[in-house]
Amino acid sequence: MKTLAKLVYVEPDEEVTDVVDRLRELQGEQAVTLVLPDGARALHSPMSFRLLKKYAQAYRLQVSVVSSETRLQALSLESGFPTYASVQAVDRGLEMLQPGAVVAIEQAAPEELEPVSSVPEFEAVSSRPVLSAPPRRMPFSGVPLLRMPRLRERLQQHRRPIYVAAAVLATVAFLAGILYLPAATVTIAVQGTKLDADVQLAGAPGTQAASANQFTTQAFTVTESQQAQGTATGQKAIPAVPATGSVTFTYNCFVFCSPYVDIPKGVVVRTSDGSKSYTTDKDLHVPLKGSASVGVTAAQPGQGGNADAHTVKQIDTKPPDLTVDNPGPIGGGADARTATVISDTDSATASQALLDILNPKVQSELNQKTGSLHLVQESLAIDHTATMDHHVGDELPAAAPTFNITMTVTGKTTAFNDAAVRQLIQHALQAKVPVDQQLSEQPVNTSYEVVSASADGKVTLTGHARGFVRPVFSLADIRARLTGRSPNSARPLLSGLPSVVDVNVRQDLPLPWLPFFASRIVVRVQEATGGFAS
């Protein structure tokens, strides 16, 4: 597969040193294509192209040149660079083997010459580009052959100063390149020192950070209610109930009569057939020729003690001239039975079923309300209230022993911005960094625990931070101390700095000295791998 070269557009006012710098930054690339504008200052001479060739080989870059200017094309081809007329030609793989169209040279008028008996005529040479080799200078058609030796002599005379000047320029450029173009990268590995910080923070709703220990919290409340039906399963023994009613005593006397009759409590009265008996509930005073009523209770509890009206006629230990009757029925007697009632378990079961639904719902709504804030579980308070249409112990019909219960659950909690709290903890660590040191690039570990929290938004935290610090170096001073030194002497010099555990010096060119210009030295400080000092 064809490797796509990276296009680098050279500015018209850039120098060759600028181009070399850009090539050094692209050392990781396989191929680079330089796009030159017309009249590019960076590559205006053969020496510039030779210098470019040297650094391209040092950086192991495949460099090709794109230029529409014939002179630059010729210089590029002479230096051995793959040359193209345009970026489109690069894409199509149309590499040039000689410069573009040859510019026609205006012929000079021939001088007056002595007649020659025989002058060979030269056929005009074709100007079609030769694709296999660079173009050669050919004689122009119509130029007399006898003029060529003089022309060569003149050209050679003019070229000697040019060659001398070019050699001087090449030497100066070579020396300048050795002094200015070399660059070096110095990497200093330092070991950090552990630094811990503890801080107590207080949070409350609407708190404006009056100090570095305060942060803002929010209080949230959610209420949910739901109704359900419970079933009574409790059993209660109901004893037999005696029948009750009232009887009326009448006192009629005609001979030797007493003015009244006293009937004590507990006097037994019976029905006409004597099958049912009742006792009076209290003492009774019956006047002569008068009547008085008193309550009675069946002697035996149960439904058998119920009696119809006007069926009680007999009186035990009956006084003379005294009668009894029950003007109304005697009832209310009931046999013993087992009733279905609401037990504590029934109420608790129905309540728990509703709580199992409402508690997660309230918790979920609180989580939704808090959103991205950190919910303080220690502040979570959930209260519930249950109301029923019956009470525990109430008897319910055996056919439909159900009751209704309504449960209301209210949840309250406190939340805060976790990132803001951790930032306060980091600030506490930053405040402990010594003046001549700085925090390392290792991430700061932060944690906190809740000391106290309430649902109304008040929270107290204890925060902990752990990081690493390293000395602060002046990179400008280090660069100034390294200029012109040998790489071997630079390593012990830098190893003597505080917390330095390793020094690495890398040069673009294998020279026995570091660059003489501080701007050509890059100093990097990185943290050593393999742990930090405690």
pLDDT at res. 210 = 52
Angstrom distance (rounded) from CA 268 to CA 281: 10
Q: What's the count of helices (H) and strands (E) in the chain, helices before strands?
A: 9, 25
Give how far the C-alpha of residue 219 lies from the chain's centroid of Cα atoms, to the nearest Å: 23
pLDDT tens track, the chain, 534 positions: 456 788 899 998 888 888 898 888 888 888 999 999 988 888 888 888 998 899 888 888 899 999 999 888 898 999 899 999 999 998 888 888 877 643 333 333 444 444 433 333 433 333 333 323 333 343 433 333 333 444 455 555 556 677 777 788 877 776 666 666 788 999 988 888 889 999 999 999 886 655 678 899 999 999 999 999 999 989 889 899 999 999 999 998 887 788 888 889 999 999 999 999 999 999 999 998 899 999 999 999 999 999 999 999 999 877 778 899 999 999 999 999 989 999 999 999 999 999 999 999 999 999 999 899 999 999 999 999 999 999 998 989 988 899 999 999 999 999 999 999 999 999 999 999 998 888 888 889 999 999 999 989 899 999 999 988 888 888 899 988 888 888 888 888 888 888 898 999 988 878 888 888 888 889 988 887 655 554
Cβ-contact 193, 531 below 8 angstroms: no
Please count the other Cβ atoms lying within 10 Å of the Cβ belonging to residue 299.
15
C-alpha distances in angstroms, 317 versus 104, 184, 251, 266, 391? 169, 138, 15, 11, 49
191 — alpha (psi -120 to 50), left (phi > 0) or beta? beta
Angstrom distance (rounded) from CA 75 to CA 84: 12
Angstrom distance (rounded) from CA 492 to CA 484: 15
Angstrom distance (rounded) from CA 67 to CA 270: 141
- Indicate the residue type of 178: I
Please tell me whether residue 297 adopts helix, strand or coil conformation: strand
Angstrom distance (rounded) from CA 426 to CA 464: 9
pLDDT at res. 156 = 56
Q: Which two tokens stand for residue 155?
A: 């050209």
What is the per-residue burial (b if ≥16 Cβ within 10 Å, else e) of 400-432? ebebebebbbbbbbbbbbeeebbebbbebbeee
CA angle, 395 then 396 then 402, to 5°: 135
